[in-house]
Structure formats: structure tokens, C-alpha cells
Amino acid sequence: MSTSSLNTEMLQSTFLEALEDEQTEVIRGILSSHKKELTSEWRFRKPQGGWPYPAEVENDAYTFLGAYQGPITALQLAILLGKNSIACDILDSTFEQDIDLQFGNGNTALHLAVLLGESSIVSALVERGADVNLRNRKGYSSVDMSDNPEILALLNIQSPEE
């Protein structure tokens, strides 16, 4: 294994531990020194498959997002684990063209935030240019995945007029 690969593995491991323990300063340090890698290049996969969805949305997750999770970005992982302040830190460092990076069945961070009902993250993603009309491979856009009036209002800011 090359030194570069070893360093990447160590940094990714450090990120995962810091995310789990909500060590914001460690995450910010990694963002400062490895912004591109953390926001667009690295993908995380839990060794036994994917990270579990919260029980209260698990059935909806399989319906709207699909069973396959695959490798996910740091932003997507922070959202999935409910680490919203860290998700915002990562989002603040993410280039606009990387906001809609897809995982699993063509899902984005916005699909995930909507499914989880995280209105503050939905708002931040929409403000930064997330595509509210992007459909995943199951045919769902983020607008299709919520009945929460607050989230729908946030999403309709960018929805095309009908």
C-alpha cells in the first residue's frame, strides 16, 4: 500500500471517528487541509454494507431511495447520521458542482435531507443551488418525497412553474 493510500485511509478513519463523536474542530481541520477530498472525492462505505436509516423513516427510505446505498460522500453521511452542524460545515466548504453528487440509486444529499425531515439542511442545500427537480433512479425528486409543508415550501422556491 502506498504512503498516499495509507494517509488517505488514516484521514478517512479520523473523519469517521470525529463525525461519530461530533468533534467539530477535527472536522474543520480536515476540511481546511483536504477540502477537495472531503467534499467531492472521498466516498464512505460501512464495512457491513450501508449505514442504517433511522427506524421512523426506514420503510420510506427503501420506497423512495431504494435498498442500495453504496458509497456516500461526507456530506451525505453527516446528514444520514443526523450531525447537522457538521453537515453545514461540510456544505459551507462544498463547491456548487458537488452539491448534487449522487449515491446509491441516484440519490443526492437533498433527497436524504428531505426524507429525514431536516428542514434546516434542506434550506441550506436549496440556498446553495441543490437541484430540487433531480430525479433518482426510482423516479422520485426531492419534492415527491415529503408531505411536510415547511419542506415543500423550501423546495418550491426552485420548482418550475406548472
The neighbouring-strand residues paired with 12 are none
CA distances to 63, 64, 89, 116, 138 from 59, in Å:
6, 9, 29, 12, 15
Q: For residue range 103-154, what is the model confidence (pLDDT) as tens digits?
A: 999 999 999 999 999 999 999 999 999 999 999 999 999 999 999 999 999 9
pLDDT tens readout for residues 64-110: 999 888 899 999 999 999 999 999 999 999 888 889 999 999 999 99
Helices (H) and strands (E) in the chain, counts: 9, 0
Q: Which domains does the chain have, with CATH numbers?
A: 3-156 (1.25.40.20)
- Percentage, residues of the chain above pLDDT 70: 91
